[in-house]
Structure formats: C-alpha cells, structure tokens
Amino acid sequence: MVRRTGSLRTLIALLAFLFWAPVSAAAVNTTAPAQRPAADACGVRAPGASAAAERAIAAACAEVAAGTWYTWGGGHGAQPGATYGQVDPTDPDSEHDPERLGFDCSGLVRHAYAQAAGSDILNGIAGQQYYTHRAAARFTAAQGLTPLLPGDLLAWGTSQDLHHIALYLGAGKMVEAKESGTRLMVSDVRLNGDYFGAVRVDTGPVTGHIHQTWGTDVWTKAEPSARAARVYAFPYSTTIRVHCQKHAEPVTAEGYTNDVWSYLPDYRAWVTNIYIKGAAWLDGVPDCRTTPPPTP
C-alpha cells in the first residue's frame, strides 16, 4: 500500500510539472513583447532630448494618437492648432482636406513647439522653420542621423525650396504630417532623395541682433551682390538674426537705393538692407570689418 501510494504521488508530481511548465513559458512569451516599444510607437526613442523637445514630441504624438489627419495648409491659423485644410491643385488626394481638421507638415511642427515653449515660436512654412533665428545647431545631410537628438527638425528639399519638415524621435524614427489622404504618423527617416539637413531649436531667450524683413519673395545671396547666387527667398515678412553689415554693391529696388548688405548667420547668406525694416545702416549692428562673418 505504501509502495502504491508512493508511485501515485510520483505520477501526480510528474503530471503537475508537465502541465505547469508550458503555462509558465507562455506567460513569459506573452509578457516579453509588451516590454519592447512597438515599431511605430510615437514618443522619445533616444536619450539626450531637452525638456522642451520632449514636450514638443509629446504634443505631436498626442495628435498621432488622436488619429488627426494631414490637411494641406492645416495648422496655419491665427493661433497654433489644427485647422481645416485646402485643396491642393496639384494633388487629387487633397479633395477632402477642406472637410478635415488637421495639420500639414509645418503646421504640425508649429503646433508642437508652441505647446513646448508656451508661445508661437515657429510660425511659418517649412523653409522659415528650418532657417529659424532660434537655431541652436544645424546639421547637413552628409552628417546623417548620428549627431541628432529627439526633437530636432528634419527638412527635405533645396536651400531655395524646402518642401517638407518633420520631428525626429530618435533611433531612426520621426513623426510627420506626410501627405493628403493619410493621418499623422511615425515613419522611418528618409535619408535618400532630397533630405537637406536638420536644425535644433532653442526655445530659450533669443540672442543676437534680431530684425524683421518686409516684402515678398526677397532673395538672400551667397555674396553681397545682386548678381550672386540665390540662397533662399523670404516668402513674406520674416524675423531674422543679423551678424554684421557692410557697404558693398549698391542696389535700387522698391524706390530705394542702398549699398549696405547684412550677413544672416542662420542662412549663411546676405541680404540688401533695403528689405530690412529700419535705417539704411542698422542701429546697433556691427560693421563686418570689425566683426566678420564666421568661416563656413
């Protein structure tokens, strides 16, 4: 009787082990994936981001979580935030954009950094945001992703026409308002094609000599000459940071003649002072002979 009872106990113990072992493995297998971020998870995905950059990412990711649409022209109202879009004559997929509350690429960036900074610091289109006078650092396409931190702005196009902008999340991912017919999304950073570079935004106090341009489609130049290569055109009145100014080639435009040109470090370019609000020779801005432009 004792021998049979002992054998029975051994059998019960063996069966208990066999049934218990697979259940424990399954529990491990089901919980482990939950500890890893999903491939399309929206959020800070690398260390090093500033608190403001983290807030900007959180604001953009909240719109992703809400299923917000891309809308052409969306996000460019009097205040940051989603707006109804417009029909893009070149894109049939934008047919329903006027019915959808959402953002285009620069509208999303504007909203995200307004939430981060508490003020509308990046109002404008992609080119104006990339060339912001609030740049803390700039990175070329050749540098790739290695020096970037979450919250940096990624831009595509040429110096004369930057047509897309997005927020870097880290680990090769970005959050973007991509195109009509899609919702805001997390994507792999596209370094092929016409990726132009990145800029790190400084949300703190603005430094340097800050001025305002006037006019529309005002070109900056590679040298202080109307005949020099074009760099970027201000689509409308734009806030700029001036490093220095100097007398160079005279320019006649808009009923004015002036030979003073200002160097804009954020564009690495020059603009005639005709299109900068203020005196012909800007008050408080040093002469480039004593404060030369930085070497590229």
Question: Interior CA angle at 177 toward 171 and 182, to 5°?
Answer: 110
pLDDT tens-digit map of 152-174: 999 999 998 999 999 999 999 99
Neighbours of 73 (CB within 10 A): 21
24: pLDDT strictly greater than 60: no
Residues of the chain with pLDDT > 90: what percent?
A: 83
Contact of 195 with 179, CB cutoff 8 Å: no
pTM, to two decimals: 0.81
| 249: its two tokens | 């080639």
- 44 three-class SS: coil
CA-based nearest residue to 136, from 205, 53, 201: 201
Compute the distance between CA of residue 102 and CA of residue 110 in angstroms, rounded to an integer.
12
pLDDT tens, 166-225?
A: 999 999 999 999 999 999 999 999 998 899 999 999 999 998 999 999 999 999 999 999
The answer to whether 104 touches 178, Cβ cutoff 8 Å, is no
Centroid of chain to Cα 35: 29
Stretch (H or E) spanning 113:
helix 105-117
Q: Which residues pair with 167 in a beta bridge?
A: 153, 175
Could you tell me if 263 and 196 are in contact, meaning their C-beta atoms sit under 8 angstroms apart? no
* pLDDT per residue as tens digits for the range 86-103: 999 999 999 999 999 999
Bridge-partner residues for 140, per DSSP? 197
Q: How many degrees, rounded to 5, is the angle at CA 160 between CA 145 and CA 226?
A: 135
Contacts 24+ apart (CB under 8 A), 263-267: 263/224, 263/288, 263/293, 264/220, 264/240, 265/208, 265/241, 265/293, 265/294, 266/131, 266/132, 266/133, 266/135, 266/240, 266/241, 267/131, 267/220, 267/231, 267/232, 267/240
- Flag whether pLDDT at 3 surpasses 60: no
Distances in whole angstroms, Cα of residue 158 to Cα of each of 127, 204, 255:
9, 28, 31
Q: What is the helix (H) or strand (E) element at residue 108, kind and residue range?
A: helix 105-117
Name the band, by pLDDT with cuts 50, 70 and 90, for residue 85: very high
